[in-house]
Chains A and B, each alone.
Chain A
Amino acid sequence: MTQTTVEAPAPPAGRVRLGLSNRLLARPEIGALVAAIIIFIFFLILAPSFRSAESFFTVLYQSSVIGIVAVGVGLLMIGGEFDLSAGVIVYTAGLANSMFCWYFGVNLWVGAFISLALCLLIGFLNGYLVMRTGIPSFLITLGTFFVLQGANLGVTKLVTGTVSSTDVSQIAGYDSLGKVFSSSFKVGSVTIWTSVIWWFLFVALATWALQRTRVGNWIFAVGGNADSARAVGVPVMRTKIGLFMTVSFLGWFVGMHQLYRFNTLQAGGGVGNEFIYIIAAVVGGTLLTGGYGNAIGVAIGAFIFGMTSLGIIYAGWDPNWFKAFLGVMLLLAVLVNLYVKRMSTMRRAGS
């Protein structure tokens, strides 16, 4: 490769620098940010109990539980694929850990690592099958989704005889695992869950990876145009399989959190969450067809989810309306994104 040393170039003629407003508009998360602010103000006005630092951190906690997996799902969607098994894999992870250790009477750490290996294997299989067969990931992961959903219930029933896992709080390793995955500390009257900090960390890491690393470049490329990417030497298969495994890793992480927070898990849990992750990603400006989006947008999407799910309760409304609200949000987000994208590309072309 030839590499020239670059002396500071004089501002070249004919080069246009876009104005601040255009550059802002071109960012994927801008629509979600505006929506988040509007919803925040909306609940501040309508729900008096929403107006406290405590409830703000509860909202953050609620958002983090969704947001951690949503980061992975967002990356995967930027890479041009879906993962419908992301919701149930959280419970598969927790159940595997809990039941393995209960049944064999081993330290919970052993189970946690076995569960991690299992989740990574599922992610790998998802990616491998999608890449090898060329079948859309929507179908492949729909399959895994049903397999996991059935296996979660079936295996739990076989092992424990009921549809929930046994309490793990008496098994060795519980305290240390709890510290890692599910602890909280107090700042004044505010309870901060470590999952919120983990969430921020994962978002920061994903943002860095997407914008500033080679892998990030590859993720955008395989989502934007996998054939072009392959032709210039991007390892498409490895990148996509890696993305599926990232999702299942984050699913495992949240699974650990759920297990050590509640000590016992319902075997039928997690169903439907896969769509919430996708909604968070889309509301955050991720393009459904891949190749466009960012991690901060997805985080804002998850925050909108957390805000509405709790805001409705704080406002004293029937929480059954939550899903309807979420659906409206999704439709609005898609419209806003479409509008913003059209605006930004139009001005660009005209500049």
Chain B
Amino acid sequence: MTDTLAEHADSHLHKGEPLIEMDGVGKSYGAIRALRGINLRVNAGEVTCVLGDNGAGKSTLIKIMSGLHPHNEGSLRVDGAEVSFSSPREALGHGIATVYQDLAVVSLMEVWRNFFLGSELTAGSYPLAGLKVKQMREIADTELRKMGIVVKDINQPIGTLSGGQRQCVAIARAVYFGARVLILDEPTAALGVKQSGVVLKYVAAARDAGLGVVFITHNPHHAYMVGDHFVILKLGETALDKNRQQVSLDELTTQMAGGDELAELSHELGRQ
């Protein structure tokens, strides 16, 4: 599995080389400041985990990186060059692919159409150029198979696959189309234990293939299994920013559960 992911990953990626650098990035929606002072580094071959409660600013952070909303404070650099994305297409052009929890795929469309959506193979560039349907079916089938995802029928609507499989198809697609940075938005949130395991293996495989991975999650246990670097967001600001060596799972869990606030709360409730 790892080998096939590596086969498609960009061979110019060097482990540890910074792909995305954020300095003091902030974002306001009108009078509401959703994010401020975020410093984040996404390095090749590493998993950067972004943790946080609901409303902590995780989604805003993803939206800035994936090109859905531009940031309005600080600087965002991709491969050392300052950028501000105005569309997901632009972010994709820089090799930044995002896989969203609930909107990774179009459920009524066939598996192979989903696999190639937005990057269809056509016989020419004129508007009514034919799609290379047969070729796309075959590639989608072989690629998914190579990555260990066996679908019964590549022509079945993707909505008939399980949640874990859909996430995997979405990740496989991003890697196949040359993603260098993979942003995963709560890929395990809606999944059972076994399915989460499958997805986590993919995350690890993508990391080993040299991609920079941003793994957004609620779940510190999942994060700790694959993460190299951990960032916890709280009310739009960084509450913790540590490397794997500097932090233990316990600390991560406590911080996630509320940290100091939790200690205060248990003191207030007064039960030993």
- Interchain nearest-CB distance for A338 vs B (Å): 15
Given A214-B122, A217-B117, A233-B88: A351 in contact with B152 (beta carbons within 8 A): yes
Q: Is B192 among interface residues, defined by CB-CB distance under 8 A?
A: no
A345 to B120, CA, bound (A): 26
- Interchain nearest-CB distance for B98 vs A (Å): 6
Within 8 Å by CB of A220, from B66, B113, B135, B138, lies B113
Q: Please tell me if the beta carbons of A233 and B131 are within 8 angstroms of each other in the complex.
A: no
Q: What A residues does B89 contact at CB under 8 A?
A: 233, 235
Q: Please tell me if the beta carbons of A221 and B8 are within 8 angstroms of each other in the complex.
A: no
Within 8 Å by CB of A231, from B98, B129, B178, lies B98
Quick one: which of B122, B130, B150, B152 has the most chain A CB within 10 A?
Answer: B152
Q: Please tell me if the beta carbons of B119 and A1 are within 8 angstroms of each other in the complex.
A: yes
Q: What A residues does B66 contact at CB under 8 A?
A: 231
Q: Is B108 among interface residues, defined by CB-CB distance under 8 A?
A: yes
Q: Is B139 among interface residues, defined by CB-CB distance under 8 A?
A: yes
Q: Which residue of A lies closest to B91 (CB)?
A: A233
Within 8 Å by CB of B133, from A9, A17, A212, A225, lies A212
Q: Please tell me if the beta carbons of B131 and A232 are within 8 angstroms of each other in the complex.
A: no
Q: Which residue of A lies closest to B135 (CB)?
A: A6
Q: Please tell me if the beta carbons of A2 and B118 are within 8 angstroms of each other in the complex.
A: no
Q: Which residue of B lies closest to A232 (CB)?
A: B118
B53-84 to A contact mask, C-beta < 8 Å, 1/0:
00000000000001010000000000000000
Q: What B residues does A231 contact at CB under 8 A?
A: 66, 68, 88, 98, 100, 103-104
Q: Is A175 among interface residues, defined by CB-CB distance under 8 A?
A: no
Q: What A residues does B266 contact at CB under 8 A?
A: none
A172 to B166, CA, bound (A): 61
Interface size of A as a range: 35 or more
A349 to B155, CA, bound (A): 13
Q: Is B196 among interface residues, defined by CB-CB distance under 8 A?
A: no
Q: Please tell me if the beta carbons of A213 and B141 are within 8 angstroms of each other in the complex.
A: no
Q: Please tell me if the beta carbons of B120 and A217 are within 8 angstroms of each other in the complex.
A: yes
Given A14-B150, A15-B153, A18-B153: A232 in contact with B88 (beta carbons within 8 A): yes
Q: Please tell me if the beta carbons of B103 and A221 are within 8 angstroms of each other in the complex.
A: no
A227 to B63, CA, bound (A): 12
A209 to B119, CA, bound (A): 16
Q: Is B109 among interface residues, defined by CB-CB distance under 8 A?
A: yes
Q: Is A348 among interface residues, defined by CB-CB distance under 8 A?
A: yes
Q: Is B107 among interface residues, defined by CB-CB distance under 8 A?
A: yes
A119 to B129, CA, bound (A): 26
Q: Which residue of A lies closest to B121 (CB)?
A: A3
B107-148 to A contact mask, C-beta < 8 Å, 1/0:
111000100111110100001111101010011011001000
Q: Is B199 among interface residues, defined by CB-CB distance under 8 A?
A: no
Q: Is B156 among interface residues, defined by CB-CB distance under 8 A?
A: yes
Q: Please tell me if the beta carbons of A217 and B160 are within 8 angstroms of each other in the complex.
A: no
Q: Please tell me if the beta carbons of B142 and A228 are within 8 angstroms of each other in the complex.
A: no
Q: What A residues does B191 contact at CB under 8 A?
A: none
A16 to B119, CA, bound (A): 26
A4 to B119, CA, bound (A): 15
- Contact sample, A vs B, 11 pairs, CB 8 Å cutoff: A212-B131, A214-B131, A217-B117, A220-B106, A224-B108, A228-B103, A231-B98, A232-B92, A291-B108, A292-B108, A345-B157
Known: A215-B128, A217-B131, A230-B88. 11 other contacts (CB 8 A): A1-B119, A2-B178, A15-B153, A212-B131, A213-B122, A217-B109, A221-B106, A231-B68, A231-B103, A232-B118, A351-B152
Across chains A and B, which 10 residue pairs bring their CB atoms closest together, nearest first?
A232-B118, A233-B118, A224-B106, A228-B103, A233-B89, A16-B152, A225-B106, A214-B120, A227-B103, A291-B108
